[in-house]
Structure 1
Amino acid sequence: MIAITGATGQLGRLVIKQLLNSVPAGELIAAVRSPQRAADLAALRVTVRYADYDRPESLATAFAGVRKLLLISSSEVGQRLPQHRMVIEAAAEAEVELLAYTSILHCDRSPLLLAAEHQQTEALLRDSGLSYVLLRNGWYTENYMAAIPTALQYGQIAGCAGEGRLSSASRSDYAAAAAAVLTSPAQQAGRIYELAGDAAWTLAELAAEISVQSGIPVSFDNVAEADYRDMLVGFGLPEGFARALADSETGIANGELFDDGRQLSRLIGRPTTALSVTVAETLTTLNSGSD
């Protein structure tokens, strides 16, 4: 049995979709906080089990009989460490044979604020006695797609990444990597994958791509980190999360989210999804929604 935590999230659903290409639905477990949101997965004959990161008793039941477990990092920044600890302890108690964890690119040396909880989780795994594999995911291209409507409205993308290059990939690319590791006949315990897109790009190049595809001129406005943080807070983001995102953009400027090792494309057996493709998909969705 293979279990996926956070299975109703954006990445989790894609992982299950990938796994269904080679794994019988009856061998998959969607471990979710809200089973009612997983009706579509249940309809595919995937087993749905209640699993709340904050309720260890639910994890013990959810992981019963599980051989491999994908721990998708919690979306609750600031609460990830205690939540991940609960999952890791429950996995050890259930004698899970392999735990795969979605960490962050170059976690061991990353100075990003968002890296801290991943570093602490990796330390927990090292001390857990579990066999584990680290999927150090780079930035998702989709992280920037939510900015396209505003960019089209005001003709501008703001940020503090300067000329830094970002080696992003799509969520579907990272999902394919997780599925490949979970189904690989090769020994995965102890492996560390630094996963990033084949082609890196700057925010100015993103603005140019949006301009070309939409026909609306869009430019990149590079601002100070503090100004960008305040801008995000103005958009309604919590101050702590806005601070972490602004810090990540400064990290991009410093090359912290650049990687040209191409481990991701080798793992999934195809090139990673180009920026132009994700921009095109986003614009198509926006245009269809406005019809």
Structure 2
Amino acid sequence: MIAVTGATGQLGQLVIKYLLQRAPSEKLVALARDLDKAQSLIGSGVEIRQADYSQPSSLVAALKGVTKLLLISSSEVGQRFVQHKNVIDAAKEAGVELIAYTSLLHADTSPLMLAAEHVETEAYLKQANIPHVLLRNGWYSENYLASLAPSLANGGFIGCAKDGKISSAAREDYAQAGAAVLTSEQSQGGKIYELAGDESYTLTDLCEIISEESGQKIPYINLPESDFVKALESAGIPRPFAVVLADSDKGASKGGLFDDSHDLSKLIGHPTRSLREMIKASL
């Protein structure tokens, strides 16, 4: 059986969608902290089980009979490693034969503050001596498209990435990759996939596409990191998350969000979705 943690989250729901295209529904398990949020899966044939990263006692039972597990990284920055450790320990006790873990692009060399807990998790997977495959996901294109509406309203797109190249991809592309790995007939233990979009762009490039598609001139305005944090806070983003976003932009300026391996498109068997296409759809 194949199980997916965080199955009601944005990525988890999409992974389940693509797994259903590749495997019988009775072989799939959706793990969710809040079962009420899994109502959309009722009738799909997928088994729904309660599992909470922060409640180790719930995890071993939830993983009973599971052979392959997609461990989608927790969204709770600062608590991620402990939560991931709980899942890994439970998976080992339950006899899971393969863990696929959604890490961060080039986690071992990344300048992003987000990398630290991913590096800890990768090290613990190795220490736990359980077969695993690392899906080192790059940036989601949706992360920047979320700023499309306010950028149009304010006449400018702000950030602190300077001219750093970004190789983002659609969340659906990463979900397809997870489903492909979990259903592959080839042994996946020990593999590392650096997953990123086929095209790379700067935020200036992004703004040029937005301008062309919207008919409104949208310049890229590069700010000092501290000013970008303040701007995000003034827009209603909680400071801890604003700091993470600004640090990620700063990391992009150092090459932290760039990759040209094309591992992602090779894995899913088609080109990743273009940025222009996604901007058109968002507009």
Category of TM-score, reference length = shorter chain: over 0.9
How far apart, CA to CA, are the structure 1 residues paired with 2:15 and 2:50? 18
Match of 2:151 in 1: 151
Distance of 1:2 and 1:235 partners within structure 2: 40
Shift of 1:233: 2.0
Aligned to 2:127: 127
Alpha-carbon distance in structure 2 between the residues aligned to 1:106 and 1:183: 24
Q: Distance in 2 between matches of 1:85 and 1:236?
A: 32
- Residues 52-77 of structure 1 deviation map (CA, whole Å, 9 limit, x = unaligned): 11111111111000000000000111
Give the deviation of 1:239 after TM superposition. Answer: 2.2
Corresponding residue of 2:230: 230
The residue type equivalent to 1:212 in the other structure is E
Q: Distance in 1 between matches of 2:232 and 2:120?
A: 27
- String of CA shifts for 1:5-50, please: whole Å, max 9, x gaps: 0000000011011111111111110000111111111221111000
Q: Secondary structure at the match of 1:109?
A: coil
The range that moved more, 231-240 or 84-93, is 231-240
Amino acid of the residue matched to residue 271 of structure 1? Answer: P
3-state DSSP class of the match of 2:42?
helix
Q: 2: distance between equivalents of 1:195 and 1:22?
A: 20
Identity %: 54
- Hey, what's the Cα distance between the residues in 1 that align with 2:256 and 2:248? 8
- Name 1:61's counterpart in structure 2: 61
Indicate the structure with greater helix content. 1
Match of 2:93 in 1: 93
- 2:41 is aligned to 41
Q: What is the DSSP-based 3-state SS (H/G/I as helix, E as strand, rest coil) of the residue aligned with 1:101?
A: strand
Alignment size in residue pairs: 283
Alignment-mate amino acid for residue 27 of structure 1: K
Number of the residue aligned with 1:286: none
| Secondary structure, counterpart of 2:146 in structure 1 | helix
Counterpart residue type for residue 31 of structure 1? L
1:259 alignment partner AA: D
Read off the aligned partner of 2:27 and give its amino acid letter.
E
1:240 Cα deviation from its structure 2 partner: 2.5
* Aligned counterpart, 2:189: 189
How far apart, CA to CA, are the structure 1 residues paired with 2:236 and 2:89? 35
Give the structure 2 partner of residue 287 of structure 1.
none
1:62-120 per-residue CA deviation (whole Å, 9 max, x = no partner) reads 10000000000001111101110100000000010000000000011112101011011
Counterpart Cα distance in 2 of 1:126 and 1:140? 27
Write out per-residue CA displacement over residues 134-186 of structure 1, whole angstroms, 9 at most, x where no aligned residue.
00000000001110110110111000001111000000100011011001100
One-letter amino acid matched to 2:241: F
For residues 245 and 22 of structure 2, the distance between their equivalents in structure 1, rounded to whole angstroms, comes to 36
- Corresponding residue SS for 2:111: coil
Q: Match for residue 168 of structure 1?
A: 168
- Residue deviations 1:185-224 (CA, integer Å, cap 9, x gap): 0010000000111100111111111111122221110010
Give the whole-Å Cα distance in 2 for the aligned partners of 1:164 and 1:83. Answer: 32
With the length of structure 1 as denominator, give the TM-score of the two structures. 0.95
**Residue 14 (structure 1) aligns with:** 14
The question of 1:77 aligning with 2:50 is answered no
Counterpart residue identity of residue 42, structure 2: A
- Inter-partner Cα distance in structure 2 for 1:72 and 1:215: 38
Q: Helix, strand or coil: the match of 1:136?
A: strand
Q: Distance in 2 between matches of 1:114 and 1:238?
A: 17
Q: Distance in 2 between matches of 1:88 and 1:29?
A: 17
The CA distance in 2 between the partners of 1:123 and 1:233, in whole Å, is: 34
After TM superposition, the runs of 4+ consecutive aligned structure 1 residues lying more than 3 A away are none
CA distance in 2, matches of 1:207, 1:73: 30
Instruction: Find the counterpart in structure 2 of residue 276 from structure 1.
Output: 276
Name the amino acid aligned to 1:57: S
Match of 2:203 in 1: 203
Q: What letter is aligned with 1:70?
A: L
Q: Secondary structure at the match of 2:99?
A: strand
SS in 1 for 2:136: strand
| CA RMSD between the two structures | 0.9
Q: Secondary structure at the match of 2:108?
A: helix
Give the Å deviation of 1:232: 1.6
Q: What residue number does 2:254 align with?
A: 254
